[in-house]
Amino acid sequence: MDYNLIIIGTIGGLIVQLARFLNPEEEFNFSQLKDYVPLILNPLISGFVVFAYVYSGTVAINSILALHIGISAPFIIKGMMDMLPTVYQKND
Q: How many CB atoms lie within 10 A of CB 27?
A: 7
pLDDT of residue 25: 80
pLDDT of residue 5: 93
Contact in structure between 54 and 13 (CB atoms under 8 Å): no
Instruction: For residue 49, name the pLDDT band (cuts at 50, 70, 90).
Output: very high
Q: What is the pLDDT of residues 12-24, one digit of tens each?
A: 999 988 888 787 7
How large a percentage of the chain has pLDDT more than 70?
99
- 41 vs 57: CA distance, rounded Å: 25
DSSP string, the chain: --HHHHHHHHHHHHHHHHHGGG-TT----TTSGGGTHHHHHHHHHHHHHHHHHHHH-SS---HHHHHHHHHHHHHHHHHHHHTSPPPPPPP-
pLDDT of residue 92: 60
Q: What is the pTM of this model?
A: 0.78
